[in-house]
Amino acid sequence: MGTISVSHTIRNHWDTAGYEEIARHILGAHFSLSIVLIGPATARKLNKTYRNKDNPANILTFPLAKDAAEIFLNITAIKKEAHRFDFTPSQHAQYLLIHGCLHLKGHTHGSTMEQAEEKILKKFAIR
């Protein structure tokens, strides 16, 4: 069985309730996922290093193997942009986790991915 772990490099407490259940639902029992809560400086550095983009991404998803990955969530960006999507910051973080996990399952941006996101948002009563 795979493991889901949540860690952070940020100082403030952030509620991660539901993260493991969401990830397990999407990725399955044998997938290992590390979810790391980060701030903007780390997000910018990772985005520049691995994507050659000089801005702090709100989420970065890195597949490590067929059944393992890391997801980095930039909590500062998530707090700032949540209102634009009619989410609370906590809901927006959960949405981005769903989005990242769907990418790991092979989804690409488009209507099929959006429908899958909406279905999962409803399942977990996020929207």
User: How many separate domains does the chain show?
Assistant: 1
- Position 18, amino acid: G
Give pLDDT, residue 7.
86
Residue 17: pLDDT band with limits 50, 70, 90 = confident
The CATH number assigned to the domain holding 104 equals 3.40.390.30
Cα 93 off chain centre by: 7
2 pLDDT higher than 90: no
Interatomic CA distance for residues 110 and 57, integer angstroms? 20
Task: Tell me which residue range forms the domain holding 85.
Answer: 4-123
Could you tell me if 1 and 29 are in contact, meaning their C-beta atoms sit under 8 angstroms apart?
yes
Q: What is the pLDDT of residues 90-126, one digit of tens each?
A: 999 999 999 999 999 999 999 999 999 999 999 999 9
List residues bridging with 74 in a β-sheet.
Answer: 38
pLDDT digits (tens, 9 = 90+) for 32-68: 999 999 999 999 999 999 999 999 999 999 999 999 9
